[in-house]
């Protein structure tokens, strides 16, 4: 790392000397050359961030290896380092006298030193809690100081990233014979991004690999993996960390000799166990993924760094005045709205009588349509919160009726941030699918609306789908459904899995008859047209063309009392301070 900095310093010094020499030539020349300011190079930096590690040897072959590869690929940028773990930073300082900056410290230095282009490339596996924290820390620096300020994405962000990651994983897999498998250990998290592991497993399965994904602190757990191994008659496993570095989790939780390590537990279950103690950062193909993500960030395709929060001024609170703002995309179908959105609002109102329940829609198109067609006025979240401020609400809870923590949910989060100083307290609840535990609850709720499924029959649920990383939630939902042994298949209109992926599974399971259901709050346009319509590109028509008998169920999740209860429970947790 020091070598990278020294080389950058020498290059910068050379440019400075050349600049002074150029100034002298300019004075002596008969025909003045263009002003040197026009050719003056902009100071550029790539800040490589990671959780960090106190294992020197591991750090060299993972974090430093990635940094050196980035420095070689992008010589016009100075490469800097930041760790997110204060514990590791402190340990390195006290034990080894090695100083590593936090993200804030590194950004302050780049700002002070006059850098104009900054690319921040995290070495995270997925956009989880640490990645979200970095985005929040960078927010303060997105104030126009830098001419270019971009955030690169983790390994598993967009759906296309999963196949690239699986191809990279193939490079380190041993030859697997019948009865053998690899078990990869991810960290796991209670952040919505934990769904990435199920999506990774889904893509691994599509590639026909005998590889099983588990996590230390999330879903799937080791017990889930063991069930699959036994079902597939696996006798011998090789354990691998699915983490950038092979640190404490790999050496102890995975490969340790303690009774609760994965190695010990698997041996106790009768498996022969091998271990592979190398982090993804040692794999040249994964290093190349980070290089590619830096490149796309430089080219303007990086992740969005939010702007600094423009706080709304404090209101005049009336003591004890509480409000619950229920936010949804909305619908222009009056009957559907009554059965779903209004039904949830009424249930929330009944559960929390001390809160005044208000409504907001996020779709400006629906808001306008309702106003023009029906003379019904619906507020946007911002309009609703402004009214609550003017009316003196002291405490506000915002409960979105979203299914996943995708783009719309995050837009609501951004709005709520503006009002953190406005009310005495403002809290926000979570969507249906958020933490690992939510998926089991959601599947139990889904069972309440499933028909009796006989041999040769299946239910296909249609999710919306998104290009947001939260699209992985659908793969995680499928995994939770599979755990329950249900013949239910998840597809999406605008994401992954696509209908083609579902059809492939249906044929593999020898399904002849399917019932289509929307996995959306309301059964609106997507359900009525894209799913159950008579057009040639509707799911119903395509499935019929593939030889399936097709039934349709045109009821949104909001009509299901069990899903209504989930929203009530999430609002309750928000009030109690257990949600966002």
Which residues are annotated as catalytic? 464
Provide the 8-state DSSP code for 38: G
Token readout for 343 is: 């039904």
CA–CA gap between residue 328 and residue 8 (Å, rounded) = 51
* Helices vs. strands in the chain: H and E counts, helices first: 23, 16
Q: Is 295 helix (H, G, I), strand (E, B) or coil?
A: helix
Token readout for 267 is: 């041996």
Q: How far is CA 401 from the centre of its chain?
A: 19
Beta bridge partners of 68: none
Contacts of 159 (CB under 8 A, 6+ apart): 199, 467, 471, 495, 496
Beta bridge partners of 117: 44, 148
Backbone angles phi, psi at 465, to 5 degrees: 85, 155
The answer to whether 104 touches 139, Cβ cutoff 8 Å, is no
CA–CA gap between residue 223 and residue 563 (Å, rounded) = 27
CA–CA gap between residue 326 and residue 125 (Å, rounded) = 33
DSSP-derived secondary structure for 401-438: --SBSSHHHHHHHHHHHHTTTTSSEEEE---SB-SHHH
Give the angle subtended at the CA of 228 by the CAs of 225 and 233, to the nearest 5°.
125
* Nearest residue to 88 (alpha-carbon basis) of 66, 59, 108: 59
CA–CA gap between residue 376 and residue 361 (Å, rounded) = 12
Beta bridge partners of 62: none
User: How many residues make up the chain in this entry?
Assistant: 580
Contacts of 292 (CB under 8 A, 6+ apart): none
CA–CA gap between residue 71 and residue 48 (Å, rounded) = 10
Token readout for 146 is: 């830098």
- Whether the link from the prior residue into 220 is cis, omega within 30° of 0, is yes
Provide the 8-state DSSP code for 243: S
- CB atoms near residue 366 (< 10 Å): 19
Sheet holding 211-215, edge to edge: 211-215, 180-186, 236-241, 272-275
């Amino acid at each position: 790392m020091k070598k990278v900095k020294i080389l950058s310093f020498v290059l910068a010094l050379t440019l400075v000397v050349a600049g002074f020499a150029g100034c002298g030539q300019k004075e002596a020349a008969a025909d003045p050359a263009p002003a040197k300011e026009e050719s003056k190079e902009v100071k550029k930096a790539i800040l490589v961030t990671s959780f960090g590690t106190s294992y020197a040897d591991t750090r060299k072959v993972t974090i430093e290896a990635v940094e050196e590869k980035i420095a070689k690929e992008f010589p016009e940028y100075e490469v800097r380092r930041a760790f997110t773990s204060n514990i590791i930073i402190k340990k390195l300082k006290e034990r080894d006298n090695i100083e590593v900056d936090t993200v804030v410290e590194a950004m302050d230095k780049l700002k002070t030193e006059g850098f104009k282009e900054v690319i921040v490339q995290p070495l995270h596996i997925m956009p989880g809690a640490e990645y979200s924290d970095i985005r929040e820390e960078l927010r303060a620096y997105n104030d126009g100081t830098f001419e270019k300020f971009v955030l690169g994405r983790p390994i598993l962000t967009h759906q296309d990233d999963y196949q690239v990651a699986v191809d990279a994983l193939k490079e380190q897999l041993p030859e697997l014979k019948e009865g053998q498998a690899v078990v990869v250990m991810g960290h796991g998290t209670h952040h919505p991004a934990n769904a990435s592991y199920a999506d990774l497993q889904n893509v691994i399965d599509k590639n026909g690999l005998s590889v099983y994904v588990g996590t230390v602190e999330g879903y799937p757990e080791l017990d889930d993996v063991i069930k699959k191994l036994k079902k597939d008659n696996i006798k011998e496993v090789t354990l691998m960390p699915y983490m950038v570095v092979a640190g404490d989790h790999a050496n102890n939780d995975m490969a340790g000799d303690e009774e609760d390590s994965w190695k010990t537990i698997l041996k106790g279950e009768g498996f022969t166990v091998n271990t592979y103690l190398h982090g993804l950062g040692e794999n040249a193909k994964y290093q190349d993924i980070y290089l590619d993500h830096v490149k796309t960030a430089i080219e303007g395709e990086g992740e969005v760094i939010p702007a600094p929060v423009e706080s709304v001024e404090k209101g005049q609170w009336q003591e004890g005045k509480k409000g619950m703002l229920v936010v949804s995309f909305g619908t222009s179908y009056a009957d559907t709205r009554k059965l779903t959105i209004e039904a949830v609002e009424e249930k929330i109102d009944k559960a929390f009588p001390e809160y005044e329940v208000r409504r907001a829609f996020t779709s400006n198109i629906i808001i306008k349509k309702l106003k023009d067609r029906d003379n019904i006025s619906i507020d946007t979240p911002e309009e609703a919160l402004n009214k609550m401020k003017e009316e003196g609400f002291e405490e506000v809870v915002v409960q979105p009726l979203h299914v996943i923590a995708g783009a719309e949910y995050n837009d609501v989060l951004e709005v709520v941030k503006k009002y953190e100083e406005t009310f005495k307290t403002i809290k926000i609840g979570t969507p249906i699918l958020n933490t690992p535990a939510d998926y089991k609850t959601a599947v139990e709720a889904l069972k309440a609306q499933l028909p009796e499924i006989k041999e040769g029959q299946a239910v296909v649920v249609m999710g919306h789908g998104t290009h947001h990383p939260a699209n992985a939630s659908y793969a995680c939902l499928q995994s939770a459904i599979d755990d329950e042994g249900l013949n239910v298949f998840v597809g999406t209109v605008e994401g992954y899995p696509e209908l083609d992926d579902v059809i492939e599974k249906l044929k593999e399971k020898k399904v002849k008859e399917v019932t289509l259901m929307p996995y959306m709050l309301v059964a609106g346009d997507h359900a009525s047209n894209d799913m159950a319509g008579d057009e040639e590109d509707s799911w119903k028509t395509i499935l019929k063309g593939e030889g399936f008998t097709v039934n349709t169920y045109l009821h949104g999740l909001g009509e299901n009392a069990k899903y209504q209860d989930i929203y009530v429970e999430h609002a309750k947790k928000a009030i109690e301070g257990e949600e966002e």
